[in-house]
Amino acid sequence: MTIQEYFELVFTDYTLRTITLGTAVLGAICGMLGSFAVLRKQSLLGDAISHAALPGIAIAFLLTGTKDSNLLLIGALGSGLVGTYWIRGMILKTHLKTDTALGLILSIFFGFGMLLLTFIQKQPNANQAGLDKYLFGQAATLVESDVRLMVIVTAISLFILLLFWKEFKILLFDAEFTQTLGFNTKFIDILITFFIVLAIVLGLQTVGVVLMSAMLLAPAAAARQWTNSLAMMILLAAIFGAFSGVVGTAISASQNNLSTGPVIVLVAAIFVLFSFIFSPGRGLLFREIRFRQNRRDLELKKTLQFMYSIAKNHENTSHPHAIRILNDFRGFTRGTLRKLEEKDWIEIHGQNWSLTTKGYETAENLYNQQKPHD
Amino acid sequence: MTEPQIEIQLIAAVVAIACAIPGVFLVLRKMALISDAISHSILPGIVIGFFITHDLNSPLLIILAAITGILTVVLVEAIQSTGLVKEDTAIGLVFPALFSVGVILIAKNANDVHLDVDAVLLGELAFAPFDRLLIDGIDFGPKSLWVMGVVLLISLILLFLFFKELKVSTFDAGLSSALGISPIIMHYGLMSVSSITIVGAFDAVGAILVVALMIAPAATAYLLTEDLKKMLGLSVLFGVVAAILGYWFAHLLDASISGSMTTVLGIIFLLTYLFAPRKGLISVLYRQRQQRTEVSLITFLLHLNNHQEKEERHINHLQEHINWQRVRSKTVVDLAERNNMITVENGVVSLTEKGLEFTELALEYIITNRDEKIEHMKDDFFLFRG
């Protein structure tokens, strides 16, 4: 199937439509809530939580014996929250640092989950096949009820987001100030974290434990480069996320042997790379251009300053001097001279240059910050 | 015990020791999550190495994968240095992308590669003894034992040679560069050793569980001691204990060995986290409560010192005016009475001689902010701490 065929089929084929819709909604909710994770410096919390959810899935299966994905997700939510709570406890109450706490929870919970999964595999009731899909995710197993659940959760979190918009925003940027204003910071904090955990758990079935953190981070990190407004960032992140979901699904559906999760992550990574380089405000390309412009400007002014230091010793400041005498000064090039002439700061006559009145005044006030300069 | 069983435990123990040593430094340098990033992003390195060598234990593959690991560190640092995203985001962006590349490489070449993602991520220790090192038909024991043995030997030699340098650069990068020890070389040296260890170990215990073997013993030891040598020793001990207990636990449940090793590590950590003598949760909570009581006591004594009027010093006043709960006021009053700071007559509290002296000291303590001036006071100050 080519990509073109995919787009023709996506509106008619049930499976494709479900999967595409699912990954799009997932991308959107992850981008939305991921923005908070990124801005709160909790980027890797997502990684830890997604791993920590694994034993919950196994325990839910062991207790109920069913593979109903909603039940398993509740288990995942439970153990994800336990993991989050433990991480917070460790950071607050012991001298272990955030990174150690995250790595510890991530690996220990995952190891315990693996123990349970292998234990389940050896059990006599052969109903267990399919639990591995939570490891790497299988978008192909999405059914309409899963997508419906995603849409409902997205709607709820959007509602909560709008309801507590002011609180979320203020907590994000100044936690202490929020507390002094009398907001219940603990409650807001728990609310945000809860929804981040919820988004992660929802994505496990589609992109899996390992790649879930990128799903959360990448759209938000890309969106961050284009705007300084929180609302705009969340909107952009949701769009980037949804777009990565759709494009990733399209690419993986059009090729054999390509699982959806990694492709979505790579598409999102390309978004990030593109944003890093080409975003006008913060991007590396424009930053480099601005940097070079500033440097050239500085060199220009250095040359002007040098000319000024020569000219000020003469009664007639426009007295012509030979270009030659600039030679031991490094800032000068043919290009700079031409630029200076364009700015009407100097005049060039053959092998001689002379400062104009305008150039003399500019040079005089070059380091004088009080005077407005052009 | 059969021979494979002994060999499995031996391999597990060697892997645990090899991981614990760099793990201690990663935890101390607040770089624990780099191990997580490396363990995932070596996947493309392993896959490409496997295309070339067709042998999971080949030294070339290990070197290629280790280079991918170091590349990850370089990439993460490059992204961090642009300042476009916060530090942790850089880690979170790099490794899933590289991991995805690895997964896709495997998937696209599924027909020619006998390697699957599960094997790389999860590993299987139970099969390790069956991959033997054969030279001229002579059996030298399991291959992975040799691989990890060599890795362990290298990191031990480096540890003994550069112990001082590692210590200085870990705790004080500024001092270390002043002494002529480049923190950058130490940093990349440590990263290389971690990278090689992770690559060597993934085959036996899997990429994610390597992270547990690196971080958990070190974090547990860190809760028990602040001495680097003791911390290294304890980490190695915890690693080995987890390896052997984990093996038998897995044997009992008939489940994944690496999973049960991690679970044992988790249990050891949980117990230490709760019960560690000074840094454990219970002792921290106890100390915090005690400090709260002590501060309340000082507030109370100062209040008494300020008021001569009877109604201000009445015991009921504590609850009404200072707004303490009954339990807390009772604790504070009891504590003060036990230490002969106050006397209570008909519900009116008054300071004793000793209480007065103490209050004066407390005032001086509060007013003087200079550490050296109050140093001698600290001893008689927190007299209730035992």
User: Which of B15, B210, B235, B262 to substitute to test the interface with A, most A CBs within 10 Å?
Assistant: B262
Looking at B239, B264, B279, the residue that finishes a domain is B279
Q: Are residues B197 and B332 in the same domain?
A: no
Task: Report angle CA A305, A310, A313 to the nearest 5 degrees.
Answer: 125
* Distance separating alpha carbons of residues A80 and A196, to the nearest angstrom: 10
Residue A52 touches partner B, C-beta closer than 8 Å: no
Q: Are B25 and B6 in contact (CB under 8 A)?
A: no
Contacts with B88 from chain A: Cβ below 8 Å: 41-44, 99
Looking at B279, B307, B322, the residue that finishes a domain is B279
Q: Are residues A64 and A182 in the same domain?
A: yes
The percent of residues in chain A predicted with pLDDT above 70, rounded, is 93
Q: Are residues A167 and A266 in the same domain?
A: yes
**Domain containing residue B175: CATH number:** 1.10.3470.10
Q: Are residues A347 and A233 in the same domain?
A: no
In the predicted model, what is the mean pLDDT of chain B? 83
Q: Are residues A95 and A153 in the same domain?
A: yes
Question: Which residues are CB-neighbours of B250 under 8 A, at least 6 positions away?
Answer: A115, B256, B257, B259, B260, B261
Burial class (CB in 10 A: 0-12, 13-18, 19+), B244: middle
ipTM given for this complex: 0.86
Q: What is the mean pLDDT of residues A306-332?
A: 73
* Distance separating alpha carbons of residues B86 and B380, to the nearest angstrom: 46
Q: Nearest residue on chain A to B268, judged by CA atoms?
A: A108
Question: Between A140 and B92, where is the model more confident?
Answer: B92
Contacts with B280 from chain A: Cβ below 8 Å: 94
Contacts with A284 from chain B: Cβ below 8 Å: 82, 84
Question: Which residues are CB-neighbours of A159 under 8 A, at least 6 positions away?
Answer: none
Q: Are residues A103 and A169 in the same domain?
A: yes
Q: Are B284 and B39 in contact (CB under 8 A)?
A: no
Domain count, chain B: 2
Q: Are residues A72 and A130 in the same domain?
A: yes
Residue A374 within any structural domain of the chain: no
Range with the poorest average pLDDT among A329-333, B54-58, B249-253: A329-333
Q: Are residues B127 and B273 in the same domain?
A: yes
Q: Are residues A330 and A273 in the same domain?
A: no
Cβ count near A365 (within 10 Å): 13
Q: Are residues B219 and B330 in the same domain?
A: no
Task: Report angle CA B4, B22, B49 to the nearest 5 degrees.
Answer: 65
Q: Are A54 and A134 in contact (CB under 8 A)?
A: yes
Closest approach of chain A CAs to the CA of B254, in angstroms? 7
Q: Are residues B15 and B161 in the same domain?
A: yes
Question: Between B122 and B338, where is the model more confident?
Answer: B338
Domain count, chain A: 2
pLDDT reported for residue B116? 66
Q: Are residues B33 and B108 in the same domain?
A: yes
Residue A334 within any structural domain of the chain: yes
Q: Nearest residue on chain B to A212, judged by CA atoms?
A: B96
A48-79 confidence digits (pLDDT tens): 999 999 999 989 988 887 777 788 889 999 99
Q: What is the mean pLDDT of residues B166-179?
A: 90
Residue A370 within any structural domain of the chain: no
Question: Which residues are CB-neighbours of B362 under 8 A, at least 6 positions away?
Answer: B298, B301, B302, B381
Residue A116 within any structural domain of the chain: yes
* Distance separating alpha carbons of residues A133 and A257, to the nearest angstrom: 15
Our separate counts of H helices and E strands in chain A read 15, 3
Looking at A259, A281, A303, the residue that finishes a domain is A281
Q: Are residues B221 and B348 in the same domain?
A: no
pLDDT band at A370 (very low <50, low <70, confident <90, very high): low
Query: Which of the 8 DSSP states describes residue B134?
Result: E
Task: Please determine, for residue B385, whether its predicted confidence score (pLDDT) is greater than 90.
Answer: no
Q: Are residues B287 and B251 in the same domain?
A: no
* Distance separating alpha carbons of residues B65 and B52, to the nearest angstrom: 12
Contacts with B93 from chain A: Cβ below 8 Å: 214, 217-218, 221, 269, 272
Task: Please determine, for residue B386, whether its predicted confidence score (pLDDT) is greater than 50.
Answer: no
pTM above 0.90, yes or no: no
Task: Report angle CA A109, A75, B99 to the nearest 5 degrees.
Answer: 50
Contacts with B85 from chain A: Cβ below 8 Å: 38, 221, 224
Please judge whether B100 and A263 are an interchain contact, meaning their C-beta atoms are less than 8 angstroms apart.
yes
Q: The domain containing residue B37 runs over which residues?
A: 3-279
* Distance separating alpha carbons of residues B268 and B247, to the nearest angstrom: 15
Q: The domain containing residue A267 runs over which residues?
A: 3-281
pLDDT reported for residue B322? 65
Q: Are residues A234 and A326 in the same domain?
A: no
Looking at A257, A281, A305, the residue that finishes a domain is A281
Contacts with A116 from chain B: Cβ below 8 Å: 255, 259
Q: Are residues B320 and B182 in the same domain?
A: no
Cβ-nearest to A111 among B218, B222, B258: B258
Q: Are residues A36 and A136 in the same domain?
A: yes
Q: Are residues B272 and B286 in the same domain?
A: no
Looking at B259, B279, B299, the residue that finishes a domain is B279
Q: Are residues B52 and B164 in the same domain?
A: yes
Closest approach of chain A CAs to the CA of B200, in angstroms? 18
Task: Please determine, for residue A318, whether its predicted confidence score (pLDDT) is greater than 80.
Answer: no
Task: Please determine, for residue B112, whether its predicted confidence score (pLDDT) is greater than 70.
Answer: no
Contacts with A218 from chain B: Cβ below 8 Å: 93, 96
pLDDT reported for residue B65? 87
Please judge whether A38 and B86 are an interchain contact, meaning their C-beta atoms are less than 8 angstroms apart.
yes
**Domain containing residue A302: CATH number:** 1.10.10
A/B interface, count of CB pairs below 8 Å: 199
In the predicted model, what is the mean pLDDT of chain A? 85
Task: Please determine, for residue B383, whether its predicted confidence score (pLDDT) is greater than 60.
Answer: no
The percent of residues in chain A predicted with pLDDT above 90, rounded, is 36
Residue A208 within any structural domain of the chain: yes
pLDDT reported for residue B352? 81
Residue A337 within any structural domain of the chain: yes
Residue A360 within any structural domain of the chain: yes
Residue A210 touches partner B, C-beta closer than 8 Å: yes
Token pair listed for B85: 């995203």
Question: Between B79 and B292, where is the model more confident?
Answer: B79
Task: Report angle CA B342, B345, B347 to the nearest 5 degrees.
Answer: 95
Residue A109: which of A63, A76, A133 has the closest Cα? A76
Three-state SS at B62:
helix
Please judge whether B284 and A90 are an interchain contact, meaning their C-beta atoms are less than 8 angstroms apart.
no
Range with the poorest average pLDDT among A307-311, B204-208, B267-271: B204-208
Q: Are residues A348 and A209 in the same domain?
A: no
* Distance separating alpha carbons of residues A207 and A229, to the nearest angstrom: 29
Q: Long-range contacts: A42-45, Cβ < 8 Å, 24+?
A: A42/A193, A42/A196, A42/B88, A43/A213, A43/A216, A43/A217, A43/B86, A43/B88, A43/B89, A43/B91, A43/B92, A44/A99, A44/A102, A44/A213, A44/B33, A44/B88, A44/B91, A44/B92, A45/A84, A45/A87, A45/A102, A45/A193, A45/A196
Q: Are residues B220 and B344 in the same domain?
A: no
Token pair listed for A89: 């406890």
Residue A28 within any structural domain of the chain: yes
pLDDT reported for residue B20? 94
pLDDT reported for residue B375? 61
Q: Are residues A80 and A127 in the same domain?
A: yes
**Domain containing residue A125: CATH number:** 1.10.3470.10
Q: Are residues B144 and B100 in the same domain?
A: yes
Closest approach of chain A CAs to the CA of B366, in angstroms? 25
Contacts with B215 from chain A: Cβ below 8 Å: 100, 103-104, 107
Beta-bridged to residue B351, according to DSSP, are: B342
pLDDT reported for residue A369? 64
Please judge whether B262 and A44 are an interchain contact, meaning their C-beta atoms are less than 8 angstroms apart.
no
A286 residue type, one letter: F
B134-163 confidence digits (pLDDT tens): 777 777 788 888 888 999 999 999 999 999
**Domain containing residue B368: CATH number:** 1.10.10
Q: Are residues A43 and A116 in the same domain?
A: yes
Cα torsion angle, A198, A203, A205, A210, sign: negative
Looking at A230, A250, A281, the residue that finishes a domain is A281
The percent of residues in chain B predicted with pLDDT above 90, rounded, is 31
